[in-house]
């Protein structure tokens, strides 16, 4: 017996099925897509062959012929970031339910790659592109990128989780103002008045909005704004949180509560606080954003703002599909955040 070399085997096509079933390719297509009534016996015969050969129609050809790839492209900053991973999985699930496949592209923080990946998704005939993070987070939109997205939008709707001034991208985003409301309300009600805000870059829209809202709420509550309680421009990781909090302590500043810009940053802040001999939450309360799984890993568990990822992803995909189908609904949709209270936040001490 001749041993068959694996992938030399020609893939089976709709024609092979048709021939063996004694029908036309069109008929096979019809039973596969359920697009028209086919005589039950023929249908049965076709289905049988499909089963027999484990036949799976070529999605490329399908996409080519009806110019519908049924692919939604997802552009993300870094899938290793649990925030994006959660959101991606939610999108994937929603897309699958709607009969779409998602194609993921990571830009890994290199803005130049953002353009490259956008091109790639276009080349793969993505019917819509969802961009989460990256340039759509910028407070001031990059003009070249805006142009590029506008060109893309001529054929392919683009849905973003931030904003891109000068484009008509659909936006689905978290209400940053409200996230800050939740956190401040929580902390204020616990008696905190010296509340620090740590991490993030002001060039990022959501961070900027948080900052504004933070000041606004202080004002409304008659608490003077103290610049020492707000970190200089930082980043969004553990290291940044650690460094910034250390800095604050070194300057002799000691808040009773800290708001970290995300969970990773909070982890760094937590380390700094502990190394300085304070307890959480007895001496200092710590809260953050994103409610990723690491909130449950840290000791104490972290109070954090959740976004209902499942809903977030679903709305992104629904918006994408609506746009594909030509619907031109609201350009901005908002996700309502929710506070998850855990062990890291408690009443303010009385030592102040």
Partner DNA sequence: GTGAAAGCGCTAACAC
Partner DNA sequence: GTGTTAGCGCTTTCAC
By the 10 Å C-beta count (0-12 exposed, 13-18 middle, 19+ buried), 334 is classed as: middle
Give residue for tokens 């969004």: 236
| Neighbouring-strand partners of residue 72 | 102, 128
Question: Any idea what the Cα angle at residue 40 is, between residues 36 and 45, rounded to 5°?
Answer: 105
- Residues 31 and 318: their CA atoms lie apart, in Å, by 28
| Shortest distance (Å) from residue 170 CB to DNA | 24
Smallest gap from Cβ 42 to DNA, in A, equals 5
In 3D space, the residue among 177, 227, 243 whose CA is nearest the CA of residue 207 turns out to be 177
* Residue 220 burial (10 A CB sphere; 0-12, 13-18, 19+): exposed
27 contact choice in DNA, a second copy, none (CB below 5 to 8 Å, kind-dependent): DNA
Residue 82: C-alpha distances to residues 86, 101, 237, 268 (Å): 6, 21, 12, 16
CB of 61 or CB of 341, closer to DNA: 61
Please give the backbone phi and psi of residue 90, each rounded to the nearest 5 degrees, phi first: -60, -40
Q: Which residue lies nearer to a second copy by CB, 213 or 291?
A: 291
Among DNA, a second copy, none, what binds residue 35 when CB lies within 5 to 8 Å by partner kind? Answer: DNA
User: How near is the Cβ of 77 to DNA at its closest, in Å?
Assistant: 29
CB of 223 to a second copy, least distance (A): 31
As given in the structure block, the two tokens for residue 16 are 């092979």
- 25 versus 104: smaller Cβ distance to a second copy: 104
Binding residues vs DNA (CB under 7 A): 10-11, 13-15, 22-27, 29-30, 32-33, 35-39, 42-43, 57-58, 61-62, 64-67
Interface with a second copy (CB under 8 A) = 4-11, 54, 56-61, 63-64, 69, 78-80, 82, 85-86, 88-89, 92-93, 101-104, 106, 108, 119-120, 122-125, 148, 151-157, 168, 238, 264, 267, 270-271, 274, 293-294, 296-299, 323-324, 326
CB under 5 to 8 A by kind: which of a second copy, DNA, none does 137 bind? none
């Amino acid at each position: 017996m001749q041993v068959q070399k694996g992938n030399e085997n020609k893939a089976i096509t709709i024609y092979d099925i048709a021939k063996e079933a004694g029908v036309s390719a069109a008929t096979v297509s019809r039973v596969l897509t359920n697009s028209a009534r086919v005589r039950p016996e023929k249908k049965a015969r076709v289905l049988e062959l499909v089963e027999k050969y484990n036949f799976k129609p070529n999605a490329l050809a399908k996409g080519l012929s009806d110019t519908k790839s049924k692919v939604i492209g997802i552009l993300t900053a870094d899938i290793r970031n649990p925030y994006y991973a959660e959101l991606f999985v939610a999108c994937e699930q929603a897309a699958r339910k709607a009969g779409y496949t998602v194609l993921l592209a990571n830009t890994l923080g290199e803005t130049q790659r953002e353009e490259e990946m956008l091109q790639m998704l276009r080349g793969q005939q993505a019917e819509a592109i969802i961009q989460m993070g990256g340039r759509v987070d910028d407070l001031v939109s990059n003009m070249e990128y805006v142009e590029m997205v506008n060109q893309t939008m001529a054929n392919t709707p683009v849905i973003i989780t931030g904003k891109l001034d000068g484009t008509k991208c659909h936006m689905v985003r978290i209400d940053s103002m409200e996230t800050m409301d939740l956190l401040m309300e929580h902390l204020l009600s616990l008696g905190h008045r010296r509340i620090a805000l740590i991490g993030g870059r002001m060039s990022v829209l959501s961070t900027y909005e948080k900052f504004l809202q933070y000041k606004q709420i202080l004002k409304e509550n008659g608490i003077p704004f103290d610049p020492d309680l707000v970190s200089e421009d930082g980043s969004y990781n553990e290291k940044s949180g650690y460094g910034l909090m250390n800095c604050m302590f070194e300057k002799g500043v000691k808040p009773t509560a800290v708001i970290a810009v995300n969970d990773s940053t909070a982890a760094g802040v937590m380390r700094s606080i502990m190394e300085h001999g304070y307890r959480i939450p007895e001496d200092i309360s710590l809260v953050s954003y994103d409610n990723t799984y690491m909130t449950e890993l840290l000791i104490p568990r972290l109070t954090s703002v959740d976004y209902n990822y499942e809903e977030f992803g679903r709305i992104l995909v629904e918006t994408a599909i609506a746009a594909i189908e030509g619907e031109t609904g609201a350009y901005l949709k908002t996700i309502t955040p929710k506070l998850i209270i855990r062990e890291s936040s408690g009443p303010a001490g009385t030592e102040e």
